[in-house]
């Protein structure tokens, strides 16, 4: 059966654990797998990216495959060809399709009409590939996931939602502190509060993301004002559990959602987290492509 990764809810705890085990093994020996030998993987970017593009391109190459990066303005999609027909044609050539786009509905439609795995490289509501790397980083630091507490402080956005959703699958307690105006609309089992100190109490890691996500630029001024009390700094991390680490999915705005001292200091694992994108996504691609159905049921 063709498997997709649209939100992360497609994984159960055992599969997630096995994927992270595999990610650790691939990190230890990056060139040990040829799982994508002779295969091409489409990476459609309708929005900006540094880490996601780099980590998928390099990761696919390390697995013996070929990444095919496609920007929307290069595809007939931007001239009116339907998402469904794009999915049908991509499925005839590609072993899997990654998409970064705004509307989750576009990703869902692509998955509906594709006969190869489709994976989410960020949408307005979800960023599951980021959360996979985040869980890998937590496990690397603490040697386990179940029973850990992760606090997210800031905008209730795609990254917050994916941490809540995948954290719940992994057995991580997730607490999210946001201003009432920007709280997460669906908690997925996470505790929601407006108080950063409440969220970080007893946390093993405190996580920040940008205050102005892609597509939210119109409300940038209001967001910066309301989110100012949610900055990740040493004083906030001091309120977490002893030995707690700072995480950030990047890109960062030092002095805004995270201090420069935290971003480049000894208490963060942020740059390791950025590297772990590649290892976790390689493990994901192995899983998805193994499950691949062959062409054609949808035409
Ligand atoms: N964290 C992340 O997804 O970064 P990019 O937007 O640079 O891909
Ligand atoms: N929440 C951010 C994440 C960037 C990786 C955004 O959607 O822009």
Q: Does residue 248 lie within any of the structural domains?
A: yes
Query: Would you say 282 and 63 are in contact if contact means Cβ atoms under 8 Å apart?
Result: yes
Name the average pLDDT for the chain. 96
Residues 189, 91: one domain? no
Question: Considering 3, 51, 129, 130, which one is annotated as catalytic?
Answer: 130
Residues 270, 133: one domain? yes
Helices and strands counted in the chain (H then E): 11, 9
Look at ligand 2, atom 7, and give the residue with the nearest C-alpha.
213
Question: Considering 209, 248, 273, 281, which one is annotated as catalytic?
Answer: 209
Residues 114, 165: one domain? no
Question: For residue 96, what are the CA distances in angstroms to 106, 210, 276, 284, 288?
Answer: 16, 29, 21, 11, 8
Query: Would you say 98 and 71 are in contact if contact means Cβ atoms under 8 Å apart?
Result: no
Residues 122, 37: one domain? yes
| Ligand 1 atom nearest 53 alpha carbon | 8
Enter the pTM of the model.
0.97
Q: Does residue 45 lie within any of the structural domains?
A: yes
Angle in degrees, CA 99, 77, 1, rounded to 5: 45
pLDDT the model gives residue 296: 46
pLDDT digits (tens, 9 = 90+) for 2-14: 999 999 999 999 9
User: Looking at the 3D structure of the chain, how many domains does it have?
Assistant: 2
Q: Does residue 143 lie within any of the structural domains?
A: yes
Residues 60, 76: one domain? yes
- What distance in Å separates the CA atoms of residue 151 and residue 236, rounded to the nearest whole number? 11
Residues 100, 195: one domain? no
Percent of the chain clearing pLDDT 70 (strictly above)? 98
pLDDT the model gives residue 293: 47
Residues 239, 287: one domain? no
Q: Does residue 182 lie within any of the structural domains?
A: yes
CA nearest neighbour of 102 among 217, 179, 251: 217
Structural domain including 285 reads: 13-127+277-297
- What distance in Å separates the CA atoms of residue 293 and residue 250, rounded to the nearest whole number? 34
Distance (angstroms) between ligand 1 centre and the Cα of 47 equals: 10
Q: Is 127 known to be catalytic?
A: yes
Look at ligand 1, atom 4, and give the residue with the nearest C-alpha.
51
List, chain by chain if needed, residues with CB within 6 Å of any ligand 2 atom.
122, 157-159, 209-210, 213-214, 249
Residues 193, 239: one domain? yes
Residues 111, 179: one domain? no
Residues 287, 218: one domain? no
Distance (angstroms) between ligand 2 centre and the Cα of 38 equals: 32
Distance (angstroms) between ligand 2 centre and the Cα of 1 equals: 31
Question: Considering 127, 204, 248, 278, which one is annotated as catalytic?
Answer: 127
What CATH number does the domain containing 117 carry?
A: 3.40.50.1370
pLDDT digits (tens, 9 = 90+) for 51-105: 999 999 999 999 999 999 999 999 999 999 999 999 999 999 999 999 999 999 9
- What distance in Å separates the CA atoms of residue 88 and residue 104, rounded to the nearest whole number? 19
CA nearest neighbour of 209 among 263, 150, 160: 160
pLDDT the model gives residue 299: 53
pLDDT digits (tens, 9 = 90+) for 168-192: 999 999 999 999 999 999 999 999 9
Distance (angstroms) between ligand 2 centre and the Cα of 215 equals: 9
Residues 144, 251: one domain? yes
Q: Does residue 175 lie within any of the structural domains?
A: yes
| Ligand 1 atom nearest 127 alpha carbon | 3
Taking residues 209-224, what's their average pLDDT?
Answer: 98
| Ligand 1 atom nearest 52 alpha carbon | 8
pLDDT digits (tens, 9 = 90+) for 255-279: 999 999 999 999 999 999 999 999 9
Residues 96, 118: one domain? yes
């Amino acid at each position: 059966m063709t498997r997709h990764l649209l939100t992360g809810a497609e994984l159960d705890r055992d599969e997630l654990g096995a994927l992270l085990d595999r990610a650790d093994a691939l990190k230890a020996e990056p060139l040990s797998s040829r799982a994508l030998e002779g295969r091409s993987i489409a990476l459609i970017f309708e929005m900006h990216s540094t880490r996601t593009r780099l980590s998928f391109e390099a990761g696919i190459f390390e697995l013996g495959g070929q990444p095919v990066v496609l920007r929307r303005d290069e595809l007939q999609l931007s001239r009116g060809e339907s998402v469904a027909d794009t999915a049908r044609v991509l499925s005839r050539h590609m072993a899997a399709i990654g998409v970064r786009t705004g509307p989750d509905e576009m990703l869902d439609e692509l998955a509906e009409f594709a006969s190869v795995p489709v994976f989410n490289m960020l949408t307005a509501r979800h960023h599951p590939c980021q959360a996979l790397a985040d869980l890998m980083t937590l496990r690397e630091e603490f040697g386990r996931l179940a029973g850990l507490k992760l606090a997210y402080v800031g905008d209730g956005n795609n990254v917050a939602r994916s941490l809540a959703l995948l954290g719940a699958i992994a057995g991580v307690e997730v607490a999210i502190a946001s201003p009432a105006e920007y709280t997460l609309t669906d908690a997925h089992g996470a505790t929601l509060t407006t108080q950063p100190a409440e969220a970080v109490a007893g946390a093993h890691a405190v996580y920040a993301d940008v205050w102005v996500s892609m597509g939210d630029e119109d409300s940038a001024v209001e967001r910066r004002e309301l989110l100012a009390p949610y900055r990740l700094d040493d004083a906030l991390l001091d309120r977490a559990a002893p030995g707690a680490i700072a995480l950030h999915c990047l890109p960062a705005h030092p002095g805004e959602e995270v201090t420069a001292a935290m971003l480049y200091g000894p208490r963060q694992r942020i740059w390791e987290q950025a590297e772990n994108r590649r290892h976790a996504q390689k493990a994901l691609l192995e899983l998805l492509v193994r499950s691949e159905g062959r062409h054609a049921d949808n035409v």
